[in-house]
């Protein structure tokens, strides 16, 4: 008999070999190694591998398909009809597995499967609607934070004018009051239920939560820790957030140290390009030099950073200076082992300000091979840019779903 926490295989004449891995917070079932499903303690489908394709499910109710094709990677959200078909197929498959496994698995696993089966079409629809009452669209978080609980202490982007970024165009920037944040946290806890246990870290949304003046931020973090205490008494839950480069009120090292004591572990900054011409083309606030300065201030407080570079801005025309100056900026930041560098291939919004400006300036865009080659050069160069070898990884904005 399989026990929770011990991966096991059950073989029956009707089902063949079913692999079960019941961890404290997630249940994974593999049907003869052809199809795999993972669920949280609420019975929510987290991800599945069906028909040779990988799917990741968001709390928002959408499903992301990720597949490797001959011509490269496919990443796209399922259409509503495709999503509903997939959810129905999973429900049918789990019904069959639950019946067939009834005499072979412990009561706890059987009860977990019953929780999964409570997710019928009506419940999915209700869940999607509830999500929209709690969250504004959760546009993006850094890849190492895909498993965090997102808490929208602020909404939107205080700048919202970068020429290439459309993430927050649908909402004005605003800071929640402590009362609003408490309500938001109550709603999140009720919504995630036992699924919350899978997510230990908190990502503070939206685009630049750390622009909040320190006294207000202090109040908001107190509410957050009150509502979401960590599993370890006396140790605050780990926090992560974006910061735009000029960072509003320019926090001091002492203020960052205070945030560090309140759980802040890493702050993510979109440098995008170390080259001043490319940076201006992107209409980022601040400057590469200001970004280097902010990074040094943050690191002096003991908090790590995540630096995001774009691959492709300025096209082939400005490629050399973009790469050279971006790697020089990284070197000047003196990153260390706890820091991260991400490289994000630029996805040019059709007819947005970036596309219009690039056209007006006659910039020749990079072709697919040129973009792949710049991405690789930036990744290799970023590792070499400092003696302390921060981790360097791809940041693909189409791979995110919450
Ligand atoms: C929320 S944004 C940046 C956070 C913070 N506001 C800042 O500007 O530093 C996260 C990252 O998404 C990436 N991003 C935004 N729009 C993009 C696009 N169209 N193509 C590729 N990456 C994009 C950028 O690298 C950006 O730094
Ligand atoms: S890149 Fe950052 S600062 Fe610029 S508009 Fe997007 S979220 Fe705002």
Output the tens digit of pLDDT for each of the chain's 402 residues: 445 556 799 999 999 999 999 999 999 999 998 999 999 999 999 999 999 999 999 999 999 999 988 878 899 999 999 999 999 999 999 999 999 999 999 999 999 999 999 999 999 999 999 999 999 999 999 999 999 999 999 999 999 999 999 999 999 999 999 999 999 999 999 999 999 999 999 999 999 999 999 999 999 999 999 999 998 999 999 999 999 887 645 899 999 999 999 999 999 999 999 999 999 999 999 999 999 999 999 999 999 999 999 999 999 999 999 999 999 999 999 999 999 999 999 999 998 999 999 999 999 999 999 999 999 999 999 999 888 888 999 999 999 999
Instruction: Please give the residue range of the domain that contains residue 256.
Output: 135-399
CA of 382 from ligand 1 middle (Å) equals 18
Last-in-domain residue among 123, 144, 171: 123
For residues 106 and 181, membership in a common domain is answered with no
For residues 188 and 308, membership in a common domain is answered with yes
For residues 114 and 143, membership in a common domain is answered with no
CA of 163 from ligand 2 middle (Å) equals 9
Q: Which of 308, 341, 342, 358 to mutate to test the pocket of ligand 1 (most atoms within 8 A of CB)?
A: 308
Q: Which of 137, 139, 140 to mutate to test the pocket of ligand 1 (most atoms within 8 A of CB)?
A: 140
Q: Does residue 195's CB lie within 6 angstroms of at least one atom of ligand 2? A: no
Last-in-domain residue among 92, 123, 154: 123
What pLDDT is attached to residue 2?
45
Q: Decide: helix, strand or coil at residue 255.
A: helix
Domains contained in the chain, number: 2
Q: Does residue 382's CB lie within 6 angstroms of at least one atom of ligand 2? A: no
Q: Decide: helix, strand or coil at residue 34.
A: coil
CB-based contacts of 71: which residues, under 8 Å, 6+ apart?
none
For residues 269 and 168, membership in a common domain is answered with yes
The CATH number for 146's domain is 3.20.20.70
CA distances from 282 to 36, 112, 307, 352, 362 (A): 42, 49, 16, 11, 15
What pLDDT is attached to residue 247?
63
CA of 270 from ligand 1 middle (Å) equals 6
What pLDDT is attached to residue 5?
59
Closest CA to 307 of 256, 244, 247, 401: 244
Whether residue 151 is contained in a domain is answered as yes
Whether residue 130 is contained in a domain is answered as no
For residues 239 and 374, membership in a common domain is answered with yes
Q: Does residue 159's CB lie within 6 angstroms of at least one atom of ligand 2? A: yes
Q: Does residue 271's CB lie within 6 angstroms of at least one atom of ligand 1? A: no
Whether residue 1 is contained in a domain is answered as no
For residues 73 and 162, membership in a common domain is answered with no
For residues 181 and 34, membership in a common domain is answered with no
Tokens read off for 77: 């959200």
For residues 141 and 23, membership in a common domain is answered with no
- ∠ CA 144-147-153, rounded to 5°: 95
Q: Does residue 163's CB lie within 6 angstroms of at least one atom of ligand 1? A: no
Whether residue 40 is contained in a domain is answered as yes
For residues 343 and 366, membership in a common domain is answered with yes
């Amino acid at each position: 008999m399989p026990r929770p926490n011990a991966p096991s295989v059950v073989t029956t004449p009707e089902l063949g070999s079913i692999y079960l891995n019941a961890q404290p917070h997630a249940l994974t079932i593999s049907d003869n190694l052809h199809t795999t499903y993972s669920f949280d303690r609420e019975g929510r489908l987290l991800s599945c591998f069906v028909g040779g394709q990988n799917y990741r499910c968001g709390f928002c109710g959408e499903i992301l398909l990720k597949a490797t094709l001959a011509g490269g990677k496919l990443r796209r959200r399922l259409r509503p009809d495709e999503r509903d078909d997939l959810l129905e197929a999973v429900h049918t498959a789990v019904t069959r597995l639950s019946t067939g496994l009834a005499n072979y698995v412990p009561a706890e696993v059987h009860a977990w499967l019953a929780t999964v089966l409570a997710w019928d079409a009506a419940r999915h629809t209700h869940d999607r609607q509830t999500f929209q009452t709690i969250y504004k669209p959760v546009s993006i978080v850094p890849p190492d934070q895909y498993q965090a609980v997102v808490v929208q202490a602020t909404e939107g982007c205080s700048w919202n004018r970068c020429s290439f970024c459309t993430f927050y165009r649908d909402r004005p920037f605003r800071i929640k009051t402590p009362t609003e944040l408490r309500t938001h946290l109550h709603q999140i806890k009720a919504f995630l239920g036992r699924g919350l246990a899978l997510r230990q870290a908190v990502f503070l949304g939206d685009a630049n939560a750390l622009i909040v003046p320190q006294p207000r931020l202090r109040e908001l973090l107190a509410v957050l820790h009150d509502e979401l205490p960590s599993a370890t008494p006396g140790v605050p839950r780990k926090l992560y957030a974006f910061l735009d480069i000029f960072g509003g009120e320019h926090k001091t090292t002492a203020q960052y140290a205070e945030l560090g004591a309140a759980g802040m572990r890493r702050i993510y900054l979109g440098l995008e390009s170390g080259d001043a011409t490319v940076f201006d083309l992107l209409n980022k606030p601040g400057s590469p030099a200001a970004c280097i300065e902010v990074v040094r201030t943050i690191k002096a407080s003991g908090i790590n950073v995540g630096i995001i570079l774009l691959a492709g801005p300025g096209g082939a025309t400005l490629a050399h200076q973009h790469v050279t100056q971006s790697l020089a900026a990284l070197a000047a930041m003196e990153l260390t082992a706890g820091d991260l560098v991400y490289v994000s291939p630029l996805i040019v919004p059709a007819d947005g300000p970036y596309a219009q400006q690039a056209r007006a300036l006659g910039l020749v865009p990079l072709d697919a091979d040129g973009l792949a080659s710049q991405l690789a050069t930036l990744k290799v160069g970023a590792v070499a840019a400092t003696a302390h070898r921060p981790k360097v990884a791809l940041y693909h904005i189409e791979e995110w779903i919450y």
